[in-house]
Structure formats: C-alpha cells, structure tokens
Chain A
C-alpha cells in the first residue's frame, strides 16, 4: 500500500473509531437524559453532548476560554507520564499494569520528601520528584525480575502491587504521617520551595510540569527510536527470539523496560503532586494508570504521539465532568467511552475489509502505471 493510502487508512480508521465511540456516548446520554417524551429527551441529550464536546474549551456564550484550555492542558500532565510508562513497557510486550499504583507511590514519596527533607531552594523540588521516580523504579524491580528470571506473570504481580501500594500508603498515613490537626487524612503542607511554579496564574494548576512532560516525551522518543536499548525494547516486543539470537540480553531488556516505566510513572506522580497540590491526600488509586494505558494505545506505543493522545483523553475527561455537573449525566460515562475507543483502536481487524480494498486499489494503480510505461 502506498504511503498516501496508508495515512488515509489510519486517519479514516481513527475517525471511524471516534465516531462509534461518540455514538455509544450519545446512546448512553440519551438513556440517562431527563425528559417526558422522545423529543424532550433528544433535545436534552443533544444539550448534554454539546456540553461534553464544546464546554472544555468554550464559555457559555460561545467565546473561547483560555482558562478552560489551561485546565485541559493541566489534565494531560499525569496521563502523559503514565502513558509514556505504558508505551515503553508495552513496547517490550511487558503487560505491566503497575502505572496505576506507580503514580500513587511516586506522588506519595515525593510528598514525603517535600514535607520532611530540608534542602535549599529548587534542589528540594528536583530531589523530591526524582525520589518519587526512583522509589517506583525500585518497586517495579519486583514484577520485572520475577518475570525475567522466573517467568512469573508481570501482569498479575503488577496488579497485586497496585493494591499493596494503596493499602500501605493508607496505613502509613493513618498511623504516622497524617496532620492530626486536620479533619481529613492528609500530610503536613509541603515546604514552599518544593512547589513547582505555575505556568499561568489563573487557578487552572497548569504548572511547569507540563513543559517537563513534553521534554520527557522527546527524550523517551529519542531513547526508543535512536538508541540501542530502545531498539532492543521494541524488538523484544516484536520478535523476542530474534533479540535473543542476535546476542542481546533479553532478561535485562525485560527488566529495563519495566523499571523505566516505573520511573516514569513515579516521576509523573511527583510532578503532579508538586504542581497541583500543597499536601498529599490521595486515599484511593487515582485512575491515571488506566487512562495511561488508553493513551499508549491511542499513541500506538510511540512516545511522540503521547501528548496528542493525552490531550484528547484530558479533553474528554474534562468534557464528561462538565457534562455531569451541568447536564446531570454521571461522569463515569468516560470509562465506557474510553473502553470503546480503546478496543477499536487496538483491534487489528477493525475496518480490515476497507484496508484490503485500498491495498488492491493501490496495487492496481501501480500495475496500470507500469503497463503504461511499458507501452511507450
């Protein structure tokens, strides 16, 4: 298939997947919409759908809102990191689903450093975020080494670790770390010099972490597509025996992919914590890990597309949450839409018939061109 047709197919396929997801969304909204009769329900649903699709960027009167835009951009920060983490782990065919617990642990460790460690100036900020990343990288050694050395499923282990992380943080918070002067369970406030400065001062919590995220995206892309180790990771995913027979250390690559993924998830947790909050107060797993998987699937496991995919998911999340406040459709609809998009994007055979047609057509065109050349 020619490059033009290949791009055309990818685009059409993506648009079709999104259209189906929107259709599902509309049906769900319609079912949950208030209204006495069909017409009333329909107009309410359309209003709700409009709320979901338009309100993340525009004000009620239709004018563009830069504050709303910065809220959407701020929402991309955590899922950009979990998305990158998942990209790298999935590229090596390591179905480690630990980004969910990873971002929570990273946020927690960063918060502890930010509260307790007395370091001068911005050094504290850097050390805190790195500590979050390193802590999770170390934890990810557990599923990684067990997979590489004993062949134990990294998937089951990483899922189990998510729960262990959640409960142990809960225990540490309740027993030792909570600020007892407050009614809710939270840590003492972070030191002033730990906070990541805001990019725009409009209360949207869009911090410099966003820029850091974009830089990390480029670094990850460079690592995956321009270095030997990145190549090893991608090849392990595509053809593990090939990597083995060509003399690369598969076990090491399997471990590296998961440790790097863990580092990114933990690092992202730290950035999110210091950019958005001034105390740690997460009680349950935040869900960013799961959204990160969707981001990685949308990006086709290529880091460079992660910001775009994260932007899309953040927009959708924001849309759903606005819809739930203004149009009374439960915000959890996002998880169903997300699942639909996710499934269709990951489906190899989705629109395969159409792809076949395109292949045949470009082959015929090529042949026609050849014959024309031959007649001359």
Chain B
C-alpha cells in the first residue's frame, strides 16, 4: 500500500483503466450527468461521492452499459469504447455489485451466478470455479442454497463472487456496506484491498464517509450531476467530505445538554412472537422500556427480527392472548390494532416507504390525512376537511424541506429521501407521546439525515419516548441515549450510549449474545431497565 502509487499514476504515465470524458446524460426534466470526467488507474480504489440524485447511479449505469450517454466518451485502457449492454461491459472486464441486489430469490446460488456469466459453462465446471474463488478470497457460500434463505451479507457475497469469476479489471460497488455488520465490512475491505493489490481498479460508491476514508485513495465528488471536486479521502475528514457533497456547512445534530427522562411511556415485557413470514425471525422474550424524553436505539443486522418487532409495536400483528405485553403510557395495548394505538398517542414510521409508510398513487395531502386525521382533526362528520388537510401537508412540506411540486403531488413521484422526510414529518408533527421509527435515514442523504436526526432529538426534548430501529451505527451513536442490540429475535440488555464501543455492538450484532460477566464495563451502570443479575 504505497501512498504515492495513486499520485504517480495521476500524472498520467500509462493509460488509465477507465477514463470518462465529458459524459452528459439528460432525462426528461433533469440533467442527470453534466460533462463528467474522471479516471481510475489499475489497482486504485476510487470513491464516487455524492448525495441522492447527484448522478452517481446514472454514471454507473453508463459505465455498465445499461444506459447510453448522450455525449462524451468512455476510454478503456486508453482506447475509446462504446458499451452497448451489460454483456459488453462484462466482456471488457467490468464487474458491478448492485446496491439493490440483482438476484433471483427462488433460484440457487449457483444458478444466480450462472445467469450473470457471459460465457456458457458447464454447471459442474462452474461449481468448481465458484468453490475455488470462495476459497481464494474467503467468501464462504453453499452453491446449492436458495437465495431466499440467505442473509443479506451472504447475498452480497454472491454478487461479489459472480463478479470475481469474470476476472474483472474494474469492479464497481454501489453502496455495498449499507446492510453489513462492522465485521462483515472489515472482511469486505480485506477482499477489496487484495483485489486492488492484484491490479484490479475499484470504483466504490458509499454514503459512509469514514469507510471511504479507510479504504479509498482517491475520490470524485458529484453534486447536481457535475463533478465539483476531487480529493484524497485519507487526508480529509468525514465532515469535510460531507460538506463537499452537499455544498454547504454541515452541523452535527444538537443533542442538548442535560437530557432528563420522565416516566416510562413505552414498555414491552416478555414479548415472544412467532413470525408470520415463512423466513421471518421469531421474537424471543423481548423486554424494553423507553421513558419520556429518551431515544432508545435498536441496533442489529436486518432480518434479525426488526420487522417483527416493528409490526408488534405498531399493532400490525396483534396479540389477543397477552394484552399486557406492550404498554403505552401504562395502558395495555398488545391486543389493539394500529388505529387504537395511535389514538393513545403513538405514531409509527415503517422502514418501507412506498406501500407501507405511504400509498404511492395518492397525493401527499391524502397520505398525510391517512395517519393524522384523528390527532390533527382532519375530519368532520365523516367527511374530509379539505382545507386543514391541505394545510397540514403544506406544513410538513415546509417544516421538513420536502422537495416536491406541492401537496397535490403523488407520494410515488417523490425520491426516496424526500418521501422519507414527508413521512417522518407527518408523524412528528402529530406531536406523539411515543414514536417508533424504523431505519429513519436509510437511503437519505447527509443533509436530510441531519435534519431528520435533529427533528427526532427535538421531539424527544419535548418529552416523547422515541424508539429508533436502525442498522446504521453512526446514526445510533449520533442520536440515541441508550442502545439494545437485536440478534436472532433476541434483544441484548440496554446500555447507555456512553458505555459502549462500536466494536462491542458489532459483536452483539453478529449474534454473540450478552458478553456478560467480565466483558461488561467494570462500572456496570446498566440503568435503563437492565435486570440486576446478582442482587
């Protein structure tokens, strides 16, 4: 890892592995890429940074042949090339690990790999090659498992293995770590560094700037479809890179000074629940309490029971047998559906925006009405009160800086991050007593994420009990007062944020349950609801 290798190559002795010159791509109503130029040398790990909508995905699709550029050229090994299709791209030696995996759930690992290979090979030969690559790079996978039975980390391994089988000269990874545990991320980085040492160029796209800093030697920053600068991530801070991305100063969320907690507002005791999904995770004896003014984070890798927990809390799965398992402000609610829980002052923000948090084909005003009509008094004698409904939506749009054409716009027409701001705003503005929110800033860019974090902190300061279910440890460290870790349907004991390290949470996320005894911090102030082991 010579630090000067990248700098030498930059002076342009040899040919770049990939060079993009003046690429422009317009969609109806937006210029996604505007005269973009950059280059990647063999063996270089190059970061592509930018907010949502900055044009990163469009650029990747052009390099991978999914889209064709309107203007500009792509040079491969110094020679201009036209890439008509992903098939061409793979033929040249470009591998792409998709952000939203391009996998077929009902097929086996081997079939999924075969589908992404250009040259038709005998399945048995392919199986041997897969096993070989898995061994060489330490990426264990059972070729005969069906994809739907695999964890997200394992699914990503399929994507990587199928790129490696093509001996890529350029590997593109689009947000590869958003679903991995810190340990899995470290493992991935080892693989990537090794590939780079073997001369493979890597284009790495991520929101997580400290990862970019740890891994990449160069970065190109996009904003609004244009290249706004480049840097060496090793010499920048995460904050300075974020500011380059959003083009303005970034303020860390203000946690306030002395946070004081009130009474317990949300209490879950002995909650065990068989999942309704075939491949879901059963909840096993979940206990937690959230006090007024407190933000409790539930960390964990997706698929460890978070969806089931959210559904149980939101009333999507009711438990008629044990109403006392969940209490909101002291009232037993486990047998209530979502509407009766909302009537008690609880609001909920699910992870999935389109179709769960909002109805894509309905306007923002209608979507606002759907969860808020009671608390915001948007109905009168069974009729919709048009004016307050519209002004409620307008208030959300204004307060949370939702970029849209107005309250009449369809929810489905908003970008993911903007819709998320609208949904979060809709629930926060109802001034809830209890807020349960799942993945509040998933896929949301840095500026908007900061705004959502600040709104959650402000809400808690007003005495609301906030439960945040998140995979993003940075987020949990930024806003939570205490944290529990979910693994295989079980919750760890709550720990105050000040007492835990990111490594410790990572180990808990990996399923090492309750590093009890010696491993716990010596002072052992497990205050929040922690059971006393030895009285």
Please indicate whether A and B come from the same complex rather than being unrelated chains.
no
